[in-house]
Amino acid sequence: MRFAFLDEDAKKEIRRATLKAIAIPGYQVSFASRELPIARGWGTGGLQVTLSIITQKDSLKVIDQGCDGSVNAVNIRNFITSVTNVETTNEVDKASIIQSRHRIPEKQMQEGQVLVLQVPEPEVLTNVEANASKQKIMHANSDYAKLWVLLYEDTSQFGDSRIGNRYPVMVNDRYVMDPSPIPKYDTLNLDNSKALVLLGAGREKKIYAVPPYTKVEPLKFDDREFKVEDFSGQKCQRCGASGVYMDEVHVDNGKTLYYCNDTSYCDEFLESRNA
């Protein structure tokens, strides 16, 4: 099979779209998304970005919901290695490309690293304007009034936006962008990121990017605090870490336990504690 599955023209097209995306932070660049032997909606956007940029020298980490061992991560990792033979790793520091769904690793990524996020719904305006041509005009005019109205309506009724994950962010003071369904906790880590963040949406055929050291701000009113998920007072039952994004686990006796969501962070924390 061809290296990285896709034919060279497809890779070239995806790389061109990616370069354009990096040049216009937060702007969604269309591309002719290819069918992959993995179902649409299962990470085919991120997968196409990864397959188009990966080389034999790369070291790859794939995570899904914070976990290297989760079924979809395993599946995607196996597919990529079966068509590239690249080395894989669970460690953030050792990876040159990290493909992720719904999380940004706890451990800060560095210059030269690439984070590829899988995106189900790239268009941040969909919930307030379903018509694609109108969305395009709104982006062109930087007209995000309807999003502000939504935010206002939610705030007046519920005290805060009802959006939990995929919270809209303003990128480089120009485009409002869907950051993929990462929790609010992660949203803040997009700001001024040292690593390049590439976002790929396969079904919706869009690629966009947050280049290193770009300003990324969640959309919020000046007099309102941006509240991220709160796990204060909780410690990971396995490694003892606190101050990270946690998984709630309801156990059989009705109790709720907390664990690090980022499993490789949990492993490293445990190792450093035992060392």
Partner 1 sequence: MGYVAVKGGEEAIKNSLSFYDEEFKGDIKPKDIRESLSFAVDKIMSEGSLYSKKLSSVAIKKSAGDLLNAAFFLRAHRSSCARVGMAKTINTDDMRIIRRVSSAFKDIQGGQILGPSNDYEVKLILKKVANKTIWSEFISDDIFVESALKPLRNKGLIKELKKDREIADITRIFPNSPYPRSAVLQIMSRGEGGSMLAFAYTTMRGYGDVHPTIGDLRIGKCDVKFTHPFTSKEVKIAEIESTSCEAVGTLEKQEDGSTKLTTGYGFCFGFNETKAISMAILDISLYSSSHSIGSGSIASDFDMILHHIDGVESMGFTNHYKLPHYVTFQSNLQVLMNAKEHNGGEK
Binding residues (CB under 8 A) for partner 1: these are 37-39, 65, 67, 71-72, 74-75, 78-79, 82, 121, 123, 125-131, 146, 149-150, 153-154, 157-158, 162, 247-252, 254, 259, 261
Residue 101, SS3 per DSSP: strand
Least CB distance from residue 25 to partner 1, whole Å?
A: 24
Which one of 43, 45, 66, 266 is the catalytic residue? 266
| End-to-end Cα distance, the chain | 44
Residue closer to partner 1 (CB basis): 75 or 90: 75
Q: Which two tokens stand for residue 226?
A: 């941006």
In the chain, at which residue ranges do the beta strands (DSSP E only) sit?
29-30, 59-64, 87-88, 97-101, 114-118, 169-171, 175-177, 196-201, 206-210, 216-218, 246-250, 256-260
User: Which residues on adjacent β-strands are paired with residue 209?
Assistant: 198
CB of 21 to partner 1, least distance (A): 22
Nearest residue to 44 via CA among 263, 207, 209: 207
DSSP 58-74: -EEEEEETTBTTSHHHH
In the annotation, is 260 catalytic? Answer: yes
Please identify which of the residues 26, 43, 46, 202 carries the catalytic annotation. Answer: 26
Residue 67 among the catalytic residues = no
Q: Please tell me the distance from the alpha carbon of residue 265 to that of residue 275, in angstroms, as a whole number.
A: 15
Q: Which of 69, 164, 239, 243 is catalytic?
A: 239
Nearest 5°: phi and psi at 258? Answer: -120, 140
Whose Cβ is closer to partner 1: residue 59's or residue 126's?
126
Give catalytic status of residue 26 as yes or no.
yes
Q: How far is the CB of 166 from partner 1 (least distance, A)?
A: 9
Instruction: Name which of 24 and 74 has its Cβ closer to partner 1.
Output: 74
Which is it for the CA torsion 128, 146, 209, 9, positive or negative? positive
Residues 6+ apart with CB under 8 A from 175: 24, 25, 26, 27, 139, 142
Q: List beta partners, residue 171.
A: 175, 216
Cβ of residue 113: shortest distance to partner 1, in angstroms? 26
| Closer residue to partner 1 (CB): 208 or 259 | 259
Q: Which is nearer to partner 1, 147 or 198 (CB)?
A: 147
Q: Least CB distance from residue 119 to partner 1, whole Å?
A: 13
DSSP state of 168: -
Residues with catalytic function = 26, 236, 239, 260, 266
